[in-house]
Amino acid sequence: MAACHSVAVALWERVLAGVLGCFAGRFGRVEPRRAAAAFVTGLLSELEVKTCWQLAEHAGHARPDAMQRLLYRAVWDADAVRDDLRQLVADRFGAPDAVLVVDETGDLKKGT
């Protein structure tokens, strides 16, 4: 069972690296590209709380600086990444009768 699980993790890491590689040209430097990959990996993880601190720790960073810099100062084209992602999803899963449903009800928010 453990071998099967580790193979699935290795496959998942390769697939994710390939998907993230589609956006590599949208980042002005390699550092924000790496931070974005770590950020997305953290968001997809089983972390309960997903702040920049937790995402940074999950990525092995001592501080959240790289994650915060990605969000506030790094040079990258967020609109182009969004457009590329939309095209990637359409190319891989699109069909004339396809429907995409995004459901955030599993992520309970606190407060108002």
**Closest C-alpha to 31, from 58, 62, 78, 65:** 65
Domain boundaries, the chain: 2-91
Q: Please state the pTM of the whole predicted model.
A: 0.76
pLDDT-derived band of residue 92, with 50, 70 and 90 as boundaries? confident
Measuring CA to CA, how many Å separate 55 from each of 2, 78, 94?
26, 19, 31
What pLDDT was estimated at residue 1? 45
Strand partners, 76: 27
Q: Which residue has the tokens 């449903």?
A: 101
Each residue of 39-55: pLDDT tens digit?
A: 999 998 889 999 999 99
> What is the pLDDT at residue 100?
79
Classify residue 108 by its DSSP letter.
Answer: P
Residue 71 in this model has a pLDDT that exceeds 50: yes
Neighbour count for residue 67 (Cβ, 10 Å)? 24
Q: Are 29 and 75 in contact (CB under 8 A)?
A: yes
